[in-house]
Amino acid sequence: MPHIFARRRQQLMDAYGPGSILIVPAAREQQRNADVDYAFRQDSDFYYLTGFEEPDAILVLCPGRQGEQVVLFVRPRDRDAETWNGRRAGVEGAVDRYRAEKAFPISEFETELPRLVEGTRQVCFTLGRHAPLDKIVLAAAQRHRTQPRLGIDGPDYFADPLAVLSEMRLHKQPQEIETLRRAASITAQGHHEAMRIGAPGVGEWEMQAALEFVFQASGSQRVGYGSIVAAGENATILHYTTNRQRAADGDLVLIDAGAELDFLTADVTRVFPVSGRFSPAQRAVYEVVLEAELRAIDACRVGRAAQDVHDVAVRTLTEGMVSLGLLDGNVTDLIASEAYRRYYMHRTSHWLGMDVHDVGRYRQGGEWRSLAAGMVLTVEPGIYIAKDDTSAPIALRGIGIRIEDDVLVTDDGPDVLTGECVKEIEDIEAMVASAPRHVSRISA
Ligand code: GLY
Ligand code: MN
Ligand code: MN
């Protein structure tokens, strides 16, 4: 089987061609406090091209350059450092295991780069992320001008390799889709467990622990983003991640959480009644959001645009807001004036993949781009009614509902990768009523 990372590197090199040099750095470690760093996660683009998970590394691709098409700069083997902080592939591992044609210690990047840049016409590098690295790359790229007496030839152009790389990542390959399916399945199981352990008095943090236990125990390396576990009116805060409140009798709990598996993440939101039954008001809002979600999912078809998906959701939500007594007036006018934004203030979809808000343009040439088979996007309509919104019917105040699934666009229509996670009212109520399968509460 061809090495997936080698294939991607080749595709990127083919796009830029001989005469180009591409420079893609790894993520850097970030200090959290004292002798502690934030949990390290490799940069998505770097991982996509290498499968290499260590920090302090740089990939250099030189299309057409014999013996040096794929060059990795990495941390060298170091017995002492490895005893303290973990194993390193080293220069040898970069060649043997990661298929670099040549590898150097990272400390030699600054001295090797001018040689690799010499004779190229174009440097492909994303400027503006890390000033010290910008400086090294710019110095190498300008050497033929700053030191003309050397008589060397150098590049005239700078390009951002993300232009091509982001498009590659937007179009998922079968292997990536399989991984996304498994991430989605793990995510569904985690949400189900959180629903099962949910009860009045249970802390948001306990539900977070339950769902993240299932994620990790199922093989997920980390969450794709900070889990949102929002009971009661906390659900009206879109990116609530405090997760320190206990759910009260009658609360809805909104959970927006996704397991990341092998650098691909799911992104799922579900809402459930912590006491086991939706109240009539909660049910009424839920049904509107569910209808909007189902219609929007149906719009995820080849040739349509992500904007169509949003428009379908907005129309259904706005109709619902009128029937719920949240808005008053003609639906078309309420959409045109954006009155619905009082209760639905975010967009319906984003690309999904290695990053939860994944790369890829939404517009091309001034137009919304068409969906194509192999793209994966979320569909996540919601209605959020602030507790202190005196213009809303009293029974609806403090209700926040979002329903979010991950959809693969195929030639045969939308394929809901997260379909395993329950979302019909009866199924959710049955899940809340059932006993936890994997975790138990430690303190009441
Ligand atoms: N979890 C962030 C989002 O749904 O976009
Ligand atoms: Mn999302
Ligand atoms: Mn989400």
Res 33: pLDDT: 97
Packed helices 204-217 and 174-197: angle between N→C axes, nearest 10 degrees: 140
Q: How confident is the model at residue 168 (pLDDT cuts 50, 70, 90)?
A: very high
Question: Which listed residue (43, 212, 384, 405) is catalytic?
Answer: 384
Active site annotation includes 3 = no
Question: Which listed residue (77, 346, 397, 438) is catalytic?
Answer: 346
Residue 320, amino acid: G
pLDDT digits (tens, 9 = 90+) for 351-377: 999 999 999 999 999 999 999 999 999
Q: Judge if the beta carbon of residue 356 lies within 6 A of ligand 1.
A: yes
Give the closest residue (by CA) to ligand 1 atom 4. Answer: 267
Active site annotation includes 438 = no
Mean pLDDT, to the nearest integer, of 291-309?
97
Mutate which of 225, 402, 407 for ligand 1? The one with the most ligand atoms within 8 Å of its CB, which is: 225
Contact 182, 261 (CB under 8 A): yes
Contact 434, 321 (CB under 8 A): no
Mean pLDDT, to the nearest integer, of 238-261?
97
Mean pLDDT, to the nearest integer, of 164-185?
98
Active site annotation includes 239 = yes
Q: Choose between 20 and 149: higher pLDDT.
A: 20
Residue written as token pair 């440097």: 123
Contact 432, 247 (CB under 8 A): no
Q: Judge if the beta carbon of residue 380 lies within 6 A of ligand 1.
A: yes
Q: What are phi and psi of 110, to 5 degrees?
A: -65, -35
114 Cα to the center of ligand 2, angstroms = 42
Q: Judge if the beta carbon of residue 256 lies within 6 A of ligand 1.
A: yes
pLDDT for residue 444 is more than 80: no
Say whether 236 sits in a helix, a strand or coil: helix
| Domain boundaries defined on the chain | 2-168, 171-433
Distance CA 209, CA 200 (A): 16
- Among the CATH numbers 3.40.350.10, 1.10.3720.10, 3.40.50.2000, 3.30.460.10, which is that of 2-168? 3.40.350.10
pLDDT for residue 411 is more than 60: yes
- Least Cα distance to 340 among 367, 356, 321 occurs for 321
Res 1: pLDDT: 42
Active site annotation includes 267 = yes
Could you check whether 2-168 and 171-433 share the same CATH topology?
no
Mean pLDDT of the chain: 97
- Give the CATH number of domain 171-433: 3.90.230.10
Provide the percentage of residues in the chain whose pLDDT is more than 70: 99
Res 187: pLDDT: 99
Say whether 354 sits in a helix, a strand or coil: coil
How far is C-alpha 79 from the chain's CA centre?
36
Q: How confident is the model at residue 150 (pLDDT cuts 50, 70, 90)?
A: confident
Mutate which of 348, 380, 402, 418 for ligand 1? The one with the most ligand atoms within 8 Å of its CB, which is: 380
Distance CA 269, CA 282 (A): 16
Classify the C-alpha dihedral 213-216-220-224 as positive or negative: positive
Q: Which atom of ligand 1 is nearest to the CA of 380?
A: 4
Tokens standing for residue 79: 């017995």
pLDDT for residue 390 is more than 90: yes
pLDDT digits (tens, 9 = 90+) for 392-406: 999 999 999 999 999
pLDDT digits (tens, 9 = 90+) for 92-143: 999 999 999 999 999 999 999 999 999 999 999 999 999 999 999 999 999 9
Q: Name the pTM for this structure.
A: 0.97
Q: What is the dihedral of CA 293, 295, 301, 303, to 10 degrees?
A: -110
Question: Which listed residue (32, 244, 357, 437) is catalytic?
Answer: 357
Active site annotation includes 53 = no
267 Cα to the center of ligand 3, angstroms = 5
Provide the percentage of residues in the chain whose pLDDT is more than 90: 97
